[in-house]
């Protein structure tokens, strides 16, 4: 897939001297869902804000479909829709008015048909005449998405789109995001919910302390960094791991009733056959076994702890 956003040596140092972003290079591919993960204050929102024109970069450049975001800001911004993290809304406006305002702001001609379609897709149609101040937090979040979609963007930034949203609404939003992607919209989302990234993203970027630690295809990332564990439920408890099994680096767990073997899925050999043979030789019997794989959350926590 060709890249639609190209970030080169982008950095941001605020007037206070705080370096929010160290030089970052990143390519976002057309039509993908890219999830940017990172702890609070990692620089996710700063990066998005620079691309969208809200924050000025200190160094570097960003192009959107080949258009520089500073020199050719009109063309670049006209392709982008942004759903910010905070619920910034015009409390006294109606849903319809505020969404129509957003479309006008992007220079698009009035289109009641499109606005209606967006509101229906986000289950806001029956609230269209309500003032925003009367809506719940979840509904306001939907309004923010509707505003971002009002001008039919080709790229959508979702900064923590499901923060503070209940499970049902979150799954609804995932559905909306998937259908947008199906229609060709490129989606960049930041999230604290790792399961959200795991569920939806094609590629993952992990940012920590202003540095982009890793950018990887989600499946590849999980394959590369995902550890698998084999847990053996023993027939009889052990006090220590038998010495002739030391080479397998087993961990005794469950008060001596479980042996855990960690192996790398990338390896040519997992070592399971040898382990089972050695267990037999050592006379260790087991009742049951099961395997587990690291979740994206485990990978994320591990990477962030290790630091850049």
Q: Which residues of 189-210 are buried (b: 16+ CB within 10 A; e: fewer)?
A: bbbebbebbbbbbbbbbbbbbb
80 touching other proteins, by CB under 8 A? yes
Stretch that binds other proteins, among 97-105, 222-230, 279-287, 294-302 (CB under 8 A): 97-105
Token output for 250: 């087993």
Q: Which residue reads 């959200």 in tokens? A: 196
107 touching other proteins, by CB under 8 A? yes
Find the shortest distance in angstroms from Cβ 190 to other proteins: 15
Find the shortest distance in angstroms from Cβ 80 to other proteins: 7
The answer to whether 271 and 278 are in contact (CB under 8 A) is: no
# binding residues, other proteins (CB under 8 A)? 34
**Which residues are registered as beta bridge partners of 239?**
none
User: H or E stretch including 264?
Assistant: strand 258-264
% helix / strand / coil in the chain, to the nearest 5? 40, 30, 30
User: H or E stretch including 22?
Assistant: strand 19-29
92 touching other proteins, by CB under 8 A? yes
Find the shortest distance in angstroms from Cβ 77 to other proteins: 4
Site string for other proteins, 32-61 (x = CB under 8 A): -----------------x--xxxxx-----
Q: Which of 41, 66, 71, 105 binds other proteins (CB under 8 A)?
A: 105
> For residues 104 and 137, which CB has a smaller minimum distance to other proteins in the complex?
104
Stretch that binds other proteins, among 26-34, 95-103, 134-142, 213-221 (CB under 8 A): 95-103
Strand ranges of the sheet holding 227-234, from the earlier edge strand across to the other edge: 251-253, 258-264, 227-234, 286-293
147 touching other proteins, by CB under 8 A? yes
Q: Which residue reads 């989606």 in tokens? A: 187
Find the shortest distance in angstroms from Cβ 178 to other proteins: 24
The residue ranges that bind other proteins (CB under 8 A) are: 14-15, 49, 52-56, 73-78, 80, 82, 84, 86, 88-92, 97, 101-109, 147
């Amino acid at each position: 897939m060709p890249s639609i956003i190209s970030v080169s040596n982008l950095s941001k140092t605020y007037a206070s001297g705080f370096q929010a972003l160290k030089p970052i290079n990143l390519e976002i591919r057309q039509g993908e869902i890219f999830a940017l993960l990172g702890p609070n204050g990692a620089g996710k929102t700063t990066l998005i804000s620079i691309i969208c024109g809200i924050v000025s970069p200190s160094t570097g450049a960003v192009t959107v479909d080949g258009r520089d975001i500073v020199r050719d800001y009109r063309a670049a911004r006209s392709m982008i829709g942004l759903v910010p993290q905070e619920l910034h809304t015009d409390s006294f406006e109606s849903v319809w008015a505020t969404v129509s305002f957003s479309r006008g702001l992007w220079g698009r001609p009035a289109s009641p048909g499109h606005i209606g379609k967006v509101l229906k897709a986000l289950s806001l149609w029956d609230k269209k005449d309500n003032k925003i101040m009367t809506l719940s937090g979840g509904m306001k979040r939907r309004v923010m998405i509707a505003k971002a979609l009002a001008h039919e963007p080709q790229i959508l930034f979702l900064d923590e789109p499901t923060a503070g949203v209940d499970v049902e609404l979150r799954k609804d939003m995932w559905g909306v995001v998937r259908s947008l992607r199906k229609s060709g919209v490129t989606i960049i989302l930041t999230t604290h919910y790792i399961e959200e990234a795991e569920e939806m993203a094609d590629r993952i970027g992990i940012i920590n302390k202003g540095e982009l630690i890793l950018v990887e295809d989600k499946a590849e990332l999980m394959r590369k960094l995902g550890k698998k564990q084999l847990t053996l439920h023993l027939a009889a408890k052990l006090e220590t791991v038998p010495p002739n099994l030391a080479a397998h680096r087993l961990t005794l767990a469950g008060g001596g009733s479980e042996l855990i073997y960690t192996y790398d899925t990338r390896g040519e050999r997992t070592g399971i056959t040898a382990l089972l043979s050695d267990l037999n030789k050592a006379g260790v019997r087991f009742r049951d076994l099961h395997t587990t794989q690291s979740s994206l959350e485990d990978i994320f926590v591990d990477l962030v702890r290790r630091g850049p």
